[in-house]
Amino acid sequence: MNAATATVADAAPPVIDVRGVLNRFGAQIVHEALDLQVPRGVILGVVGGSGTGKSVLLRTIVGLRRPDAGQVRLLGEDLHALPAPRRIAVERRIGVLFQDGALFSSLTVAENIAVPLLEHTAIGARDARRLATLKIGLAGLPQDARDKYPSELSGGMRKRAALARALALDPEVLFLDEPTSGLDPISAAAFDRLLRTLRDALGLTVYMNTHDLDSIHTVCDRVAVLAERRVLVMADLATVERYDHPWVQDYFRGPRGRAASAAHAGPVLET
Amino acid sequence: MIPVDTPGRVEVIAGGGESTVRLEGAWTLTHFATIEPQVQALRAALPERLRLDLDAVSRIDTAGAGLLGVLLGPARLRALLDAQPNLAPERRALLDTVGCAIHDIFAYSPPPYDGFGFVRLLQKTGEAVDAIWCQTRALLGFIGLVLETLARTLLQPRRWRIASLVVQLEQTTLDALPIVSLLSLMVGAVIAFLGATVLNAYGASVFTVDLVSFAFLREFGAVLAAILLAGRTASAFTAQIGAMKANEEIDAIRTLGLDPIEVLVLPRVLALMLGLPMLTFVAMLAGIFGGALVCVLAIGIPPAMFLSLMHTDTPLSYFWVGMSKAPVFAFLIAIIGCLEGFKVTGSAESVGERTTSSVVQAIFMVILIDALAALFFMEMGW
């Protein structure tokens, strides 16, 4: 069934469309002539060594950074060319989970999650609170975390609270920067399951920077490798694993890569 | 066929043995406000034996699935889903996930607010008084800690942080020179104008010279520089140390076997104690120059006469009276700035609160000490 939906999705215009992007910090060029197309409904894992600009690329795609050259279209729109109201309408349809959560430190967890609900929908404060409670449960947080401030939470709990906020509006595209780093393996597996469920039920597209080989094996439909200032290869895992490049081979054929590969060698997980 | 975006509806159709809960329309976030009251109303009177009919649901997202979970309760939702062979697998997975995560969202109420009233007023007053006491004790304790660290470090030249001291000196003193001199110049001119206006009535406008030089040597030089530094530097110290605290950098310093007081506080305190006297000197010069400008241009006292009048009328001790206060002000400003920084707890709000508090306290202390010093010097006849 997944294969069937993937082919249908390929025909539609890509949700994320990056063409010829150049990102430069002073004399240092991070990305050059970078192309990336992500079809709807795909869970894309972006891998790359530290310092290859995974976070920079994510920030460029969501419009936080204007590329020095090239074009980025998100949900068919160029965010930097849009007037403010239409840009907000597009931003409403995406959710972003930053690496350290980026929760508002002066608001409680429930208030953090209610922010997008109150700002972008017609629902009242009471309903926003109830929905926030629902999202807290969905993200796997204990309910007593609801009225705590981010500084009172552990790193993993902060991450889940941030996920709950990113999911608040049931976005069409979800951007995740290292979502499972700092989570224990059980939570990380639950996270992967949740991602898959939401993708199947809501047609979510997920763009995920990750180092977690288990996540790559269990949830990612596609893997993109960022190296040499561009997307070296983007394909399904089996193809990427065979790609002939020293870094890719080290990554997937190294001890950890082999262990993860062996663990997931059986049939692809049942939903 | 129902259009895709009809607001979701739910109804219970009573049958013979078992009732049917029938859902239709879009169960999405957009229609949350419409669906939620229906769920609330039906929830209490839901019959025991049920069938679930989801065929007419056009769309469902996590909000809608959550409402369904609330309506039926997690256990019953599970059981009813199992009795639905025709349900699309992705929809089943969503309902299953959400239903299992759902807690009773209607039971949730935010923590109660303490309320108002006389008792609350008394309580607030008590807390405020107690806070002042705690604050004073913390400040005295911190002063002791810094002095102790200073005494320990002084004996070991290896541990003097010269680079850090010089950087702080540049940021707090050199970079403050333009603003301190400009402001003092303008205040000097204003005082000269004021003096000229009042003294002219008695034909004594020549004493404007004394007014300006006395004021700036004894009081304004030191106080103006100190107040500017309290606004400019105490806040910077609080924000710097506060951000480091929030970022766990202070903890990192400790675990690396370093003393945050020695690394962060001492260079700042010493830099300010060296820098503020210099700034005070500049403020005195600039203020007197501003006064001299007004005397020369508006009152008609020639520059040479201004200088000779100042020379004969102003004792050198006035200069020392002013300068002696500068290191005291500097010590207090730096200590308060650093201490407030250490009190930051991690939220952006607390950085704001602590920075405000540090500037207010620093300015308050400067003016308080200056008033006490003025009394003391007057009694001593200095």
Lookup: tokens for A75: 């949900």
Judged against a pLDDT cut of 90, whether residue B179 lies above it is answered with yes
B26 and B152: one domain? no
- Convert the pLDDT of each residue in B135-169 to its tens digit: 999 999 999 999 999 999 988 888 888 999 999 99
Chain A residues in contact with B62 by the CB 8 A cut-off are 134-135, 138, 167, 170, 198, 202
Residue A209 in contact with residue A197, Cβ under 8 Å? no
Of B33, B97, B345, the CB nearest to A127: B33
Judged against a pLDDT cut of 90, whether residue B30 lies above it is answered with no
Three-state DSSP class for B177?
helix
Contact of A160 with chain B, judged by CB distance below 8 Å, is answered with: no
Residue B17 in contact with residue B54, Cβ under 8 Å? no
Q: Which of B101, B117, B143 is the last residue of a domain?
A: B101
CA atoms within 13 A on the CB side of B64: 25
Q: Do B93 and A200 touch (CB under 8 A)?
A: yes
Lookup: tokens for A123: 């629902």
Rounded Cα gap, residues A36 and A70, in angstroms:
12
Report which secondary-structure segment, H or E, holds B65: helix B62-72
**Mean pLDDT of all residues belonging to chain B:** 88
B21 and B149: one domain? no
- Convert the pLDDT of each residue in A206-241 to its tens digit: 999 988 888 888 889 899 998 888 888 888 888 888
Three-state DSSP class for A171?
coil
Contact of A217 with chain B, judged by CB distance below 8 Å, is answered with: no
Judged against a pLDDT cut of 80, whether residue A268 lies above it is answered with no
Phi, psi (deg, nearest 5) at residue B260: -55, -30
Judged against a pLDDT cut of 60, whether residue B372 lies above it is answered with yes
Cα distances (angstroms) measured from residue B141 to each of A64, A208, B49, B100, B137: 45, 50, 70, 53, 6
Burial class (CB in 10 A: 0-12, 13-18, 19+), A117: buried
Chain A residues in contact with B77 by the CB 8 A cut-off are none
Cα distances (angstroms) measured from residue B270 to each of A213, A232, B58, B150, B253: 52, 54, 71, 10, 20
Residues in CB range of B362: below 8 A, 6 or more apart: B230, B234, B332, B333, B336, B337
Residues in CB range of A83: below 8 A, 6 or more apart: none
Supply the pLDDT for residue B184: 96
Which residue numbers of B have CB closer than 8 Å to A's CBs?
A: 28-30, 32-33, 36, 60-63, 66, 89-91, 93-94, 96-98, 101-103, 105-106, 108, 110-111, 246, 345-349
- Convert the pLDDT of each residue in B208-219 to its tens digit: 999 999 999 999
Judged against a pLDDT cut of 90, whether residue B96 lies above it is answered with no
Three-state DSSP class for A22?
strand
Q: Do A201 and B94 touch (CB under 8 A)?
A: yes
Q: What is the mean pLDDT of residues B23-45?
A: 83
Task: Give B24's strand partners.
Answer: B9, B56
Q: Which position has the higher pLDDT, B174 or B105?
A: B174
B96 and B137: one domain? no
Q: ipTM of this predicted complex?
A: 0.71
Sheet order of strands, B9-13 included: B9-13, B19-27, B50-60
Supply the pLDDT for residue B40: 81
- Convert the pLDDT of each residue in A126-137 to its tens digit: 888 888 888 888
Mutate to test the interface with B, among A130, A153, A167, A219 (most CBs of B within 10 A): A130
- Domain extent, residue B335, equals 133-380
Phi, psi (deg, nearest 5) at residue B345: -110, -5
B38 and B148: one domain? no
Separation in Å, CA of B33 to nearest CA in chain A = 6
Chain A 95-114, CB below 8 Å of chain B: which residues?
Answer: 104-106, 110
Separation in Å, CA of A252 to nearest CA in chain B = 31
Supply the pLDDT for residue B176: 94
Amino acid occupying residue B355 = T
Supply the pLDDT for residue A207: 93
Cα B232 to its chain centre, rounded Å, is 14
Separation in Å, CA of A129 to nearest CA in chain B = 8
Separation in Å, CA of A26 to nearest CA in chain B = 26
Residues in CB range of A47: below 8 A, 6 or more apart: A54, A210, A211, A216, A223, A224, A225, A226, A251
Mutate to test the interface with A, among B28, B30, B31, B32 (most CBs of A within 10 A): B32
Site of tokens 């050199």: B174
Cα B264 to its chain centre, rounded Å, is 19
Judged against a pLDDT cut of 70, whether residue B283 lies above it is answered with yes
User: Sign (positive/negative) of CA torsion A106, A109, A113, A114?
Assistant: negative
Residue A199 in contact with residue A230, Cβ under 8 Å? no
Strands A16-25 and A28-38: antiparallel
Q: Which of B101, B123, B145 is the last residue of a domain?
A: B101
- Convert the pLDDT of each residue in A246-257 to its tens digit: 888 888 888 888
Report which secondary-structure segment, H or E, holds A33: strand A28-38
Burial class (CB in 10 A: 0-12, 13-18, 19+), A249: middle
Task: Compute and round to an integer the Cα radius of gyration of chain A.
Answer: 18
Report which secondary-structure segment, H or E, holds B374: helix B348-380
Share of chain B above pLDDT 90, in %: 53
Contact of A134 with chain B, judged by CB distance below 8 Å, is answered with: yes
Chain B residues in contact with A201 by the CB 8 A cut-off are 60, 90-91, 93-94
Phi, psi (deg, nearest 5) at residue B156: -120, 90
Chain A residues in contact with B94 by the CB 8 A cut-off are 197-198, 200-202
Residue B320 in contact with residue B334, Cβ under 8 Å? no
Judged against a pLDDT cut of 60, whether residue A199 lies above it is answered with yes
- The residue of chain A nearest to residue B96, with distances taken between CA atoms, is A197
B316 and B256: one domain? yes
B178 and B65: one domain? no
Q: Which position has the higher pLDDT, B4 or B288?
A: B288
Supply the pLDDT for residue B296: 92
Lookup: tokens for B375: 């009394």
The residue count for chain B? 382
Residues in CB range of A54: below 8 A, 6 or more apart: A46, A47, A48, A177, A209, A226
Lookup: tokens for A201: 């039920």
User: For chain A, what are the domain ranges?
Assistant: 105-170
Residue B271 in contact with residue B337, Cβ under 8 Å? no
Of A110, A138, A271, the CB nearest to B62: A138
Task: Compute and round to an integer the Cα radius of gyration of chain B.
Answer: 36
Chain A 138-157, CB below 8 Å of chain B: which residues?
Answer: 138, 140, 143, 146-147, 149-151
Chain B residues in contact with A138 by the CB 8 A cut-off are 62, 66, 97-98, 101
Residue B38 in contact with residue B10, Cβ under 8 Å? yes
Separation in Å, CA of A151 to nearest CA in chain B = 6
Supply the pLDDT for residue A5: 47
Residue B284 in contact with residue B221, Cβ under 8 Å? yes
Rounded Cα gap, residues B126 and B24, in angstroms:
58
B157 and B280: one domain? yes
- Convert the pLDDT of each residue in A10-26 to its tens digit: 557 888 999 999 998 88
- Convert the pLDDT of each residue in A91-119 to its tens digit: 888 889 988 888 888 888 988 988 888 88
Judged against a pLDDT cut of 90, whether residue B281 lies above it is answered with yes
B336 and B191: one domain? yes
Judged against a pLDDT cut of 50, whether residue A3 lies above it is answered with no
Supply the pLDDT for residue A81: 86
Q: What is the mean pLDDT of residues A189-209?
A: 86
Q: Do A149 and B347 touch (CB under 8 A)?
A: yes
**Looking at the domain assignment, is residue B201 inside a domain?**
yes
Q: Do B346 and A122 touch (CB under 8 A)?
A: no
Judged against a pLDDT cut of 80, whether residue B106 lies above it is answered with no
- The CATH number given to whatever domain includes residue B96 is 3.30.750.24
Report which secondary-structure segment, H or E, holds B359: helix B348-380
**Looking at the domain assignment, is residue B128 inside a domain?**
no
Judged against a pLDDT cut of 60, whether residue A266 lies above it is answered with no
Supply the pLDDT for residue B56: 81
Domain count, chain B: 2
CA atoms within 13 A on the CB side of B59: 16
Supply the pLDDT for residue A145: 85
- Convert the pLDDT of each residue in A142-193 to its tens digit: 888 888 888 888 888 888 889 888 888 888 899 999 888 878 888 888 888 8
Supply the pLDDT for residue B190: 95
Of B33, B105, B346, the CB nearest to A151: B346
Judged against a pLDDT cut of 60, whether residue B68 lies above it is answered with yes
B97 and B145: one domain? no
Residues in CB range of A148: below 8 A, 6 or more apart: A108, A109
The pLDDT confidence band at residue B233, using thresholds 50, 70 and 90, is very high
Chain A 20-79, CB below 8 Å of chain B: which residues?
Answer: none
- Convert the pLDDT of each residue in B111-143 to its tens digit: 666 667 888 889 999 999 999 999 999 999 999
Q: Which of B101, B122, B145 is the last residue of a domain?
A: B101
Site of tokens 């105490």: B234
Mutate to test the interface with B, among A133, A154, A165, A194 (most CBs of B within 10 A): A133
Supply the pLDDT for residue B1: 42
Contact of A2 with chain B, judged by CB distance below 8 Å, is answered with: no
Chain A residues in contact with B66 by the CB 8 A cut-off are 131, 134, 138
Query: DSSP assignment, residue B109?
Result: -
- The residue of chain A nearest to residue B34, with distances taken between CA atoms, is A123
Separation in Å, CA of A79 to nearest CA in chain B = 24
Separation in Å, CA of B96 to nearest CA in chain A = 9
User: Sign (positive/negative) of CA torsion A160, A165, A169, A173?
Assistant: negative
A100, A115, B4, A6: CA torsion to nearest 10: -10
Rounded Cα gap, residues B303 and B105, in angstroms:
81
B139 and B97: one domain? no
- Convert the pLDDT of each residue in A48-67 to its tens digit: 888 888 889 999 998 888 89
Strands A230-235 and B9-13: unpaired
Report which secondary-structure segment, H or E, holds A206: strand A205-209
Contact of A223 with chain B, judged by CB distance below 8 Å, is answered with: no
CA atoms within 13 A on the CB side of B185: 9
Q: Do B108 and A129 touch (CB under 8 A)?
A: yes
CA atoms within 13 A on the CB side of A169: 22
Lookup: tokens for A225: 């490798």
Cα A80 to its chain centre, rounded Å, is 21
Supply the pLDDT for residue B107: 59
CA atoms within 13 A on the CB side of A88: 6
B349 and B281: one domain? yes
Separation in Å, CA of A103 to nearest CA in chain B = 10
